[in-house]
Structure formats: C-alpha cells, structure tokens
Amino acid sequence: MMKSGNYNRIKEVLEEQGRTQTWLAKKLNITFRQVNSYCSNASQPSIPVLYDISILLQTPVSELLRESSEELLKTDDL
C-alpha cells in the first residue's frame, strides 16, 4: 500500500497562474471542498477530472503530477 503524499501539483499551478480554487471549482462544476481536497492532496482527481483540469489550466497532465519517489513507494508491509 502506498503512503500518502503529494501526488499532484494542482495548487502550485493554480498559484503560478494567479487562479483560485474557487475559480477551478466553478469551472469544473464541483464544490470548493472537493477542489481543496485535490489541492491539499487529501484525495486525487479521477483521470477524466485530471484531464479537465489540464484543459482548463492549459497545462499538460504530466505537469500536474509529481514524479514518484522511492519514499512514496516504500511500504512497511513487504
């Protein structure tokens, strides 16, 4: 099982573009709470939502995701 971590860069990209979580929530027609959950990495968007975010932010999906690191992939149960 993967440990929790920072898997996406949605918050950083929004900040770089001067956009808000409220703006993104309105554009996606979802709640601010859900967008905030993505931005804090408490939950991750589905692949279709990630693509929608990519289109809205005019940013490749690959730029919205962090590269995995060994630390994130380590498990205590192996």
pLDDT at position 67 over 90: no
pLDDT tens-digit readout, 4-30: 578 999 999 999 999 999 999 999 999
Fold classification of 10-62 is 434 Repressor (Amino-terminal Domain) (1.10.260)
DSSP 20: -
> Which residues are CB-neighbours of 8 under 8 A, at least 6 positions away?
38, 41, 44, 45, 50, 64, 65, 66
Mean pLDDT of 53-61: 98
Question: How far lies 44's CA from each of 28, 76, 77, 78, in Å?
Answer: 15, 22, 23, 25
pLDDT tens-digit readout, 32-44: 999 999 999 999 9
Report d(CA 48, CA 72) in Å as an integer: 24
Backbone φ and ψ for 31, nearest 5 degrees, come out as -75, 155
